[in-house]
Amino acid sequence: MSVQRFSLHDGPGIRTTVFLQGCPLHCPWCSNPESQPKHPVQRHKRDKCSGCGACIALCSEGAITRGEDGFPHFDRTRCIGCGRCEQACPNEAIAISGKLMSVSEIVDIVKRDKDYYHNSGGGVTFSGGEVFMQPEALLALLEAVKADGISTAIETCGQTSLEWIERVEPLTDLFLYDIKHSDREVLKRVTGGDLDRIVENLKSLAGTGKAIVRIPCIPEFNLDEVTMRGIYDIALRCEVGELHLLPYHNLGADKYAQLSKEYAYSCEGLRNEELEPFAEMGRAFGLTVRIGG
């Protein structure tokens, strides 16, 4: 888990965003690849590394060796996320993303900014990864902050059981609910998502007025008339009145190199204006469509 205070983009007002590790999907444009595994992940920033070797000597798991280029190389299958290498590095070239935290530790942090939430209409947002990869922890967190009168939001891709959606719904004020595609075959092939499950879960929120659909607008994936029309149709069927179009950006590309992974989805970021025709299309359906989160 990790926690970000004074967040302005994960729901209304000033918020604290709690990121839960783990995601059931594998979207190739993901800007937070470090949040996909369910465990803490170690990133190496090669541009800051001097090759001093302090981290190599410290790692008791044999996860770090010196490569032929003189720099450390990482076997993340052996890493247990202990964080010793991060602490030992004199150049801040290593960062551990996510750490084990208890519910009470997180709730203590969230409560610190209660006055800001109250004055700005904000609250806490649970995000990921995918929040439903740790559903018991999510439920415990929601119960604890709700008991303290704090407004709650969840960011989700909807890939979970109907039972979990129904269990968290009474404790959640806002669902920021991703619909990434309207074609079940394409969604499955590219992201691993199950559109029927995702839509059924969204439909269960119909009538609550709590769901906003968010569409990550990705060139060459879903940014075409047929797909966007299909997503608007899903929103209408699920009685969702508001949608947010999120323009693709490639700001997470560097993280792939830090994780020794290839960023397979490198195309130009989108400008808000480029989404305006698609927003207009949704408005013609009677929907409220905003560009941006």
Q: Which residues bind ligand SF4 (CB under 6 A)?
A: 42, 49-55, 58-59, 61, 63-64, 72, 79-85, 88-89, 91, 93-94, 96
Kindly tell me which of 54 and 199 has the beta carbon lying closer to ligand SF4: 54
Q: How far apart are CA 188 and CA 49, in angstroms?
A: 39
Three-state SS at 198: helix
Shortest Å distance, C-beta 167 to ligand SF4: 34
H/E stretch holding 4 reads: strand 2-7
Taking the least distance from each CB to ligand SF4, the nearer of 54 and 253 is 54
Cβ(238)–Cβ(205) below 8 Å: yes
Q: Is 221 exposed, middle or buried (0-12, 13-18, 19+ CB in 10 A)?
A: buried
Q: Are strands 174-178 and 211-217 parallel, antiparallel or unpaired?
A: parallel
Closer residue to ligand SF4 in complex, CB, 79/110? 79
* Least Å from the CB of residue 1 to ligand SF4: 16
> What Rg, from alpha-carbon coordinates, does the chain have?
20
Closer residue to ligand SF4, CB minimum distance, 80 or 147: 80
Least Å distance between CB 259 and ligand SF4? 12
C-beta closer to ligand SF4: residue 48 or 237? 48
CB of 54: closest distance to ligand SF4 in angstroms?
Answer: 4
User: CB of 89: closest distance to ligand SF4 in angstroms?
Assistant: 3
Half-sphere exposure of residue 233: CA atoms within 13 angstroms, side-chain side: 9
Amino acid in position 16: T
